[in-house]
Every structure is written in structure tokens, then in C-alpha cells.
């Protein structure tokens, strides 16, 4: 790296680190849940009766009464203080996308001047954060600016340690004074409730012992690491989470894969530390060592009950940040930190598990279980087929737009990959031959084709599918690495719940008309297989042919966020969410607005940062080098040398002028477009203007900046280069 950049890096935060801090992976059993107030610990701290009551509430999803809240708050306080916590906070997930906290001390001054430890039932079940600055999409006018947070008993409290001390964190929902959800968690809990209800009713066709169905979720998290000092010298990374400029050779990834080889020890030390810290918080993390792109990594916890899995993923993001700093790294969760290098996602592995311990998406061993599997399998496919646009909207964000539908990215088409064995199975179930056979059998189940033993390594081959069946779960892969999974998972559970409810109505109708139950189920399953065919795709999802074929099949391919979000305010979506008890019309509309706001604000920030970097860093560097060239040419001329002696220099001088002028002119033109967009009242129109009229400048300016990067004297280039950022020593 050039001296200039080293100086810049040093000024911003010190030299890149090369040292390693060897740390041993501690014994998982000793660490796991150490900082969590688990149900089993509650047992020790609660009166017997209260404990029993709480367990029932968690199982049945009912609310906590005053007396119980009093007992729990005392228990929580005792445990937290015994473990060194000095403060407590309600930990919630506002629609900004991160998590929020409001800290209070346990200790309050008493009237006689001494201090008492105070934490009451009120502090547990209800808090009133001064939260008027959180996005609410117009739901909270200033006069009702209060938002309430209340403990979600299905997610245990935990102690978060920072340099500043230990804080008891209480996972909470965040609702407005008038009862509307202002966060990600409240609608998710409602969606979990609705799929529980719908899935239990359908599962009872097969097994009356099923009284509860819980969605499970395992989230694979991809991320990039970058040296903290280098990060601090890149204002674009700091302010937008991605590099807005930087040249990388077209073949960079393949070559660099080879070049980077094994994981540096420094990264391994980070991973071990991350794993230890996560285990303490009850996050059953297993780090992975496979890099896709240079300095890109992945980790995944064991799957858990969905609400907990999402809380843990949110918490994991905080832990990653914290642990990274200890190792002088910065974690990049942006979906596309480097153009020309693979992006990052957050694969959501989802299935449905009954209180009897059966995974409803695991192909059964008996014919009866096969029909149950087929029922849930096909209903999920049908739900995705009917509501692909809602799923697409659920993963839409300014940052994920770089990963979906952009060039060098998979298309934004939602399709399902099943693997050839299951794809063929559905073909067969649908065929007239099977229908005939089933009718001929005394026992209908024996007519259904046997589900082959799935070769698990075979189910997952197609990495290009946004929604794939992988053996005993569906994997929604289009979710962005920085997203809160609650939104896509709320939508997925809502549409499947809705589908299962419709399925039950159709089956019951047939039964009422005298069709035998199992035949009725099979009839509707076969009908759904036929109706949802268009969404099934086994081929290469990244190919151009697929875009054409998908269009011919009538599948949507909505490339940009503001248009993808339109579906939220369509009558059919409003009704679906309301029917499933997830969002009122007003809540849907508020969310639509918040998502649009998040979108254009991200672009607005990027545009500003580009303008500033271009005029204050890039252009000056270009002109400095150009002046050197001019001096050189003048000198050569003075010596009386012929023109051939400085023709290359003249050419460079011209090229620098061309590129430098272009970036300055385009930055100004972009500013004008931004002003026009800002003047638009309607947030959807403003978002579209940002997307279609402002954003195109980003790549144009980047192109010319990258050209300059290749020309300008390396020692004069002001920003750490991509190859430097991507190379961890």
C-alpha cells in the first residue's frame, strides 16, 4: 500500500493488524446459555406455582397477569444481579432494521439517600420508551408519540456484556399507544400463531394427537470481514456499508480464491471468539470456514423455534460487531459490499414441527405419513406460487437490490427447486395413472407412489434457486444478509397459513359431499400440484434463458424495491394479512411507507457520499497526478525532445481530464436529479425517482473513477483499493 494511503489509514485509526490472538474454543457445554435466564434457571428462582403458570403461558401463548409478572420480575432481578448486571433494558426490533435498547439502572436512590435495587412488574411487562424517533409510517402522530414495549415470554432474557458492564436484556414487542405494531416481532408472533392454528387443523386429519405446530428456522449468515483501520479510511464503507468505488479485475474472484488460500489465523481467532460469545448467549452457533469470495465467511446456528432463531440472529449481528472490534475487524453485513465480488445472503431454513415431534416437511416412512408430508409440502409450494410477489416484497431493500435483479446477480424471480426425485414424484402423483390406482386400492395410501429415500447431498445441488427444498425443510435463500428475517418469515408463515386454511375448506367440502377423507385430501393435493406448476424450476436460475422462460410462464421479475413493494397495498394482500390477524389495513399501509422511506433514504445517503468523495478526494488526486505529468511534459519539451518522447504523457493528461470532468459533471447532474426527487411529495414516486433517475449515476461515476484509479500514480490514490480491503493478513 502506498505511503499516502498508509498515512490516511493511520490517521483514521491505526495500521492494519497482522497479529493474532490465539484463543481456544472453550467447552461448549460449559458456555452454552451461561448468560441466559433459561426456563430451567427460572425454576430455581420462581415459586413452584408461578413456574408452572409461566410454562403454560409460553406453551399456550396467553398473557401474563399482574401477580405472575411481579414474581418473574423479582426472579429476573435476583438472577441478573447475582450474575453481575447493573442495568436492564427492553430489547426490541424497531423497523429501522437493527435492534434498540433503553437502559435503566436497577439501582435507584432511596428517600434516605441510600440506594435500593428496583425492578418491578411494571418494568417487566410494560415500558414506555421515548421512541418518537422510530419509524412508524404515520401511525403515531406526535400527540400519541408513546410506544410501549412488553416482554415476549417465549424469548428468554439474557445478559449482554460490553466493556462498560453487564446489562439484563429483556426481549420485547414494540406497539403503539393504539395497539398497532411498530416492530418486526409483534407481527411475527401473530404469524406464528396463525400458522399454528391452520397447520394443527390440517395435521389432525392424520393425527389427532397434534395440538401445536411450531415453525422452525435455521439461519445461515454470510458476511465479509475487513480490517478496521482500512475500513476507517473508506468513508463510503463507513457511511453506506459498501464500497461505492474500486476497481477489481473481471476475473478477480477466481484468481483471488487461489491467491488467498487458507483462512488467516487472525480470522480463525475471531471465529473462535465469536462462537464462544454466541454460546454464552444461548445461540447454538457453528462457524463455517468455507469462503465463497475472498474475505467472505459464513456462520450458522442449529435451527430453533422461529421466534428465538430470529432474536438470536439479531443478537448475533450485535455480537459479531462487538467481537470483530476486539480483533480489529469490521463486519460487513451489506448484501454487496464489493462490486464484482459475490454478494451475501441469509439463507432461511424453514420447516414445521409438531408437538408430537414430527417434522411435517420430512418425507415419512409409512404411506400414511407420506400423504401428510405431501399435504404440507404441496400446500407450501402452492402458497409460494400464489403469493410469490409478497415473498419478493418481503426481501426487498435498497441493499438487496444489488443482489437480486442487478447485473452479476441472480434474477428477482421467485421459483422453487425441489430436486429431481421430488419433482418426479409430484409429476407421478398428479398423473391419471395414480388417480386410477388409488381408487382401485382398498387402502388409498397404498396407491400413492412411495417417496424415495432422499439422497440429502442430492437435494441441495441447485444453488441458483431462491427457494429450495433441501431434504426436510425449505430454504429461502433470497433473504439479504443484513435483513431482519422476521419480515420474510412473517410473510412465509402467513401465506402458508392462509393456504392451509383454504386447503381445509376445500377438503371439508368434499368430505361433506361424501368423499372419503383421504381421497378428498389427495384430490385437493393433486389439484394444487397442477395449479402451482409454473413456480417449479429445476434449471439454472442465473441463466438468461430462465428470465425468458419465467416471463413466458407469467412469473414476475420485479427488479427494484419500490415496485416490488406495491404488492403490500393491493387489496388481496391487505385482506390476507387482516384475515390471518397479522396486519390491519392501516398497519400494512404504514409498513409500506416505512419500507419506501428506508429505500430512498439509503440511496440519498449514497448519492451524497459519492458527490463528496468525488469532489474532495478523487478529483484532487487526479489533478495532482495530472500536474506531475504536465511538469514532466514541459521538462521534456524544454530539453528539446521530439513529441514522441511525451506523447503517452499527453494522452494520459487528456484521459485524466476526460474522466475527471465526467465525474464532476455527472456528480452535479446527479445532485440536480436528487433535488427534483426530493421535491416529490409522494414517497413512492420519490423512491422511484431515486431508483430510476438518481441511482443510474452511481455506476456511471464508478466507471470513470475506476478508470482514474487505474491511471493515477498508486502513491497518490487516496482510498484503500479493493485488493487491499479484500486481503486479510
CA 194, 195, 197, 198 torsion-angle sign? positive
**Among candidate residues 65, 183, 64, the one with its CA nearest the CA of residue 131:** 183
Minimum CB–partner distance for residue 273 and ligand ADP (Å): 20
Minimum CB–partner distance for residue 479 and ligand ADP (Å): 13
Does residue 628 touch ligand ADP according to CB under 6 A? no
Minimum CB–partner distance for residue 236 and Mg ion (Å): 30
Question: Which window, 74-82, 231-239, 281-289, 343-351, contacts Mg ion (CB under 5 A)?
Answer: 343-351
Minimum CB–partner distance for residue 472 and ligand ADP (Å): 5
Other CB atoms within 10 Å distance of the CB of residue 325: 13
31, 300, 358, 629: residue in contact with ligand ADP (rule CB under 6 A) = 300
Q: SS3 string of 672-687?
A: HHHHHHHCCCCHHHHH
Question: Which window, 63-71, 159-167, 298-306, 669-677, contacts ligand ADP (CB under 6 A)?
Answer: 298-306
Minimum CB–partner distance for residue 172 and ligand ADP (Å): 25
Strands 416-417 and 329-332: unpaired
Binding positions for ligand ADP, 179-238, rule CB under 6 A: 216-218, 220
Cell of 272: 473462535
Size of the site for ligand ADP (CB under 6 A): 16
Does residue 591 touch Mg ion according to CB under 5 A? no
Minimum CB–partner distance for residue 115 and Mg ion (Å): 51
Q: Which of the listed partners (Mg ion, ligand ADP, none) does 218 bind, with a CB threshold of 5 to 8 Å by partner kind?
A: ligand ADP
Other CB atoms within 10 Å distance of the CB of residue 441: 13
Does residue 303 touch ligand ADP according to CB under 6 A? yes
Q: DSSP for 408-427?
A: TS--S---EE--HHHHHHHH
CA 309, 283, 347, 379 torsion-angle sign? negative
**Among candidate residues 28, 405, 463, 23, the one with its CA nearest the CA of residue 222:** 463
Residue owning grid cell 402467513 = 494
Minimum CB–partner distance for residue 458 and ligand ADP (Å): 12
Q: Which of the listed partners (ligand ADP, Mg ion, none) does 523 bind, with a CB threshold of 5 to 8 Å by partner kind?
A: none
Does residue 462 touch ligand ADP according to CB under 6 A? no
Does residue 305 touch ligand ADP according to CB under 6 A? no
211, 359, 462, 510: residue in contact with ligand ADP (rule CB under 6 A) = 359
Minimum CB–partner distance for residue 303 and ligand ADP (Å): 3
Question: Which window, 22-30, 76-84, 245-253, 345-353, contacts ligand ADP (CB under 6 A)?
Answer: 345-353
* Smaller CB separation from ligand ADP, 346 or 563: 346
Does residue 347 touch Mg ion according to CB under 5 A? yes
| Burial state string for 191-230 with b = 16 or more CB within 10 A and e = fewer than 16 | bbbbbbbbbbbbbebbeeebebbbbbbbbbbbbbbbbbbb
Q: What is the DSSP letter of 537?
A: -
Minimum CB–partner distance for residue 370 and ligand ADP (Å): 18
Contacts of 252 (CB under 8 A, 6+ apart): 340, 341, 722, 723
* Smaller CB separation from ligand ADP, 93 or 470: 470
Binding positions for Mg ion, 284-313, rule CB under 5 A: none
* Smaller CB separation from ligand ADP, 217 or 230: 217
- State the DSSP H helix or E strand holding residue 123, giving kind and residue range, or none if neither: helix 121-125
CA distances for 573 relative to 11, 190, 577, 726, angstroms:
52, 16, 6, 42
Q: Which of the listed partners (ligand ADP, Mg ion, none) does 216 bind, with a CB threshold of 5 to 8 Å by partner kind?
A: ligand ADP
Does residue 479 touch ligand ADP according to CB under 6 A? no
Minimum CB–partner distance for residue 307 and ligand ADP (Å): 13
351, 394, 397, 464: residue in contact with ligand ADP (rule CB under 6 A) = 351
Question: Which window, 91-99, 345-353, 364-372, 629-637, contacts Mg ion (CB under 5 A)?
Answer: 345-353
CA distances for 619 relative to 569, 615, 717, angstroms:
44, 6, 10
- State the DSSP H helix or E strand holding residue 253, giving kind and residue range, or none if neither: helix 252-260
**Distance, CA of 570 to CA of 573 (rounded, Å):** 5
Strands 115-117 and 296-301: unpaired
Q: 357 — alpha (psi -120 to 50), left (phi > 0) or beta?
A: left
Residue nearest to ligand ADP (CB): 218
Cell of 503: 386447503
Burial bucket for residue 493 (CB in 10 Å: 0-12, 13-18, 19+): buried
Backbone phi, psi, residue 463, to 5°:
-80, -5
Burial bucket for residue 338 (CB in 10 Å: 0-12, 13-18, 19+): buried
Size of the site for Mg ion (CB under 5 A): 1
Question: Which window, 157-165, 182-190, 347-355, 391-399, contacts Mg ion (CB under 5 A)?
Answer: 347-355
Residues 76-95 vs ligand ADP: string with x where CB under 6 A?
--------------------
Angle at alpha carbon of residue 397, lines to 566 and 469, rounded to 5°: 90
Minimum CB–partner distance for residue 282 and ligand ADP (Å): 15
* Smaller CB separation from ligand ADP, 473 or 592: 473
Rounded to a whole number, what is the largest CA-CA distance in the chain? 105
Does residue 280 touch Mg ion according to CB under 5 A? no
Minimum CB–partner distance for residue 463 and Mg ion (Å): 9
Minimum CB–partner distance for residue 477 and Mg ion (Å): 7
Does residue 460 touch ligand ADP according to CB under 6 A? yes
Question: Where along the sequence are the contacts to Mg ion (CB under 5 A)?
Answer: 347
Question: Where along the sequence are the contacts to ligand ADP (CB under 6 A)?
Answer: 216-218, 220, 300-303, 349-351, 359, 460, 470, 472-473
Amino acid at each position: 500500500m502506498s505511503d499516502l494511503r498508509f498515512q490516511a489509514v493511520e490517521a483514521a485509526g491505526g495500521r492494519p493488524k497482522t497479529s493474532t490472538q490465539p484463543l481456544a474454543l472453550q467447552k461448549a457445554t460449559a458456555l452454552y446459555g451461561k448468560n441466559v435466564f433459561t426456563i430451567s434457571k427460572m425454576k430455581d428462582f420462581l415459586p413452584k406455582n408461578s413456574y408452572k403458570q409461566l410454562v403454560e403461558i409460553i406453551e399456550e401463548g396467553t398473557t401474563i397477569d399482574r401477580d405472575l409478572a411481579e414474581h418473574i420480575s423479582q426472579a429476573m432481578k435476583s438472577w441478573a444481579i447475582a450474575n453481575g448486571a447493573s442495568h436492564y433494558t427492553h430489547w426490541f426490533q424497531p423497523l429501522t432494521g437493527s435492534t434498540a435498547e433503553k437502559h435503566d439502572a436497577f439501582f435507584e436512590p432511596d428517600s434516605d439517600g441510600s440506594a435500593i435495587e428496583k425492578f418491578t412488574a411494571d418494568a417487566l411487562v410494560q415500558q414506555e420508551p421515548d421512541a418518537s424517533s422510530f419509524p412508524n409510517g404515520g401511525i403515531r402522530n406526535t400527540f400519541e408519540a408513546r410506544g410501549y414495549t412488553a416482554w415476549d415470554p417465549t424469548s428468554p432474557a439474557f445478559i449482554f456484556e460490553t466493556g462498560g458492564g453487564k446489562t439484563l436484556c429483556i426481549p420485547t414487542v414494540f406497539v403503539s399507544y393504539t395497539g398497532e405494531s411498530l416492530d418486526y416481532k409483534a407481527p411475527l408472533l401473530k404469524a406464528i400463531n396463525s400458522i399454528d392454528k391452520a397447520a394443527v387443523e390440517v395435521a389432525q386429519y392424520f393425527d389427532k394427537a397434534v395440538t401445536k405446530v411450531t415453525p422452525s428456522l435455521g439461519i445461515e449468515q454470510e458476511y465479509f470481514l475487513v480490517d478496521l483501520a482500512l475500513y476507517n479510511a473508506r468513508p463510503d464503507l463507513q457511511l453506506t456499508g459498501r464500497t461505492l468505488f474500486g476497481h477489481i479485475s473481471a476475473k478477480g474472484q477466481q484468481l483471488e480464491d487461489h491467491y488467498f488460500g487458507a483462512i488467516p489465523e487472525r480470522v480463525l481467532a475471531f471465529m473462535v471468539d465469536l462462537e464462544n460469545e454466541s454460546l454464552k448467549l444461548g445461540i447454538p452457533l457453528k462457524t463455517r470456514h468455507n469462503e465463497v469470495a475472498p474475505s467472505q465467511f459464513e456462520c450458522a446456528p442449529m435451527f430453533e423455534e422461529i421466534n428465538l432463531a430470529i432474536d438470536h440472529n439479531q443478537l448475533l449481528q450485535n455480537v459479531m460487531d462487538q467481537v470483530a472490534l476486539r480483533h480489529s475487524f469490521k463486519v460487513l453485513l451489506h448484501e454487496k459490499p464489493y462490486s464484482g465480488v459475490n454478494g451475501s445472503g441469509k439463507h432461511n431454513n424453514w420447516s414445521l414441527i409438531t408437538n408430537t415431534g414430527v417434522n411435517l416437511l420430512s418425507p415419512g416412512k409409512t404411506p400414511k405419513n407420506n400423504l401428510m408430508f405431501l399435504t404440507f409440502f404441496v400446500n407450501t409450494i402452492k402458497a409460494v406460487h400464489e403469493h410469490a410477489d409478497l415473498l419478493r416484497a418481503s426481501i426487498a431493500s435498497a441493499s438487496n437490490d444489488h443482489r437480486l435483479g442487478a447485473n452479476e446477480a441472480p434474477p428477482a424471480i421467485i421459483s422453487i427447486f425441489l430436486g429431481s426425485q421430488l419433482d418426479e414424484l409430484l409429476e407421478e402423483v398428479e398423473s391419471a395413472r395414480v388417480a386410477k390406482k388409488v381408487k382401485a386400492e382398498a387402502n388409498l395410501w397404498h396407491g400413492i407412489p412411495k417417496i424415495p429415500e432422499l439422497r440429502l447431498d442430492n437435494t441441495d445441488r441447485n444453488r441458483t434457486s431462491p427457494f429450495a427444498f433441501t431434504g426436510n425443510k425449505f430454504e429461502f435463500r433470497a433473504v439479504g444478509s443484513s435483513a431482519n428475517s422476521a419480515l420474510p418469515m412473517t410473510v412465509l408463515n402467513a401465506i402458508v397459513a392462509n393456504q392451509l386454511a383454504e386447503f381445509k375448506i376445500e377438503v371439508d367440502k368434499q368430505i361433506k359431499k361424501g368423499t372419503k377423507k383421504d381421497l378428498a385430501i389427495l384430490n385437493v393435493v393433486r389439484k394444487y400440484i397442477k395449479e402451482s406448476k409454473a413456480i417449479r424450476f429445476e434449471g439454472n436460475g442465473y441463466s438468461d434463458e430462465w428470465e425468458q422462460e419465467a416471463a413466458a410462464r407469467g412469473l414476475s421479475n420485479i427488479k427494484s424495491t419500490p415496485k416490488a413493494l406495491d404488492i403490500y397495498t393491493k387489496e388481496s394482500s391487505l385482506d390476507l394479512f387482516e384475515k390471518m390477524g397479522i396486519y390491519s389495513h392501516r398497519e400494512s399501509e404504514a409498513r409500506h411507507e416505512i419500507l419506501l422511506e428506508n429505500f430512498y433514504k439509503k440511496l440519498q445517503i449514497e448519492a451524497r457520499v459519492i458527490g463528496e468523495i468525488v469532489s474532495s478526494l478523487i478529483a484532487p488526486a487526479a489533478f495532482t497526478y495530472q500536474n506531475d505529468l504536465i511538469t514532466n511534459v514541459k521538462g521534456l519539451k524544454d530539453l528539446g525532445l521530439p513529441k514522441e518522447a511525451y506523447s503517452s504523457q499527453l494522452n494520459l493528461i487528456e484521459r485524466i481530464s476526460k474522466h475527471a470532468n465526467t465525474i464532476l459533471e455527472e456528480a452535479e447532474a446527479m445532485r440536480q436529479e436528487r433535488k427534483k426527487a426530493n421535491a416529490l411529495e409522494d414517497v413512492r414516486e420519490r423512491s422511484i425517482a431515486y431508483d430510476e433517475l438518481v441511482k443510474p449515476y452511481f455506476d456511471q461515476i464508478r466507471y470513470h473513477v475506476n478508470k482514474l484509479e487505474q491511471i493515477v500514480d498508486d502513491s497518490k490514490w487516496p482510498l484503500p483499493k479493493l485488493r487491499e480491503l479484500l486481503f486479510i493478513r
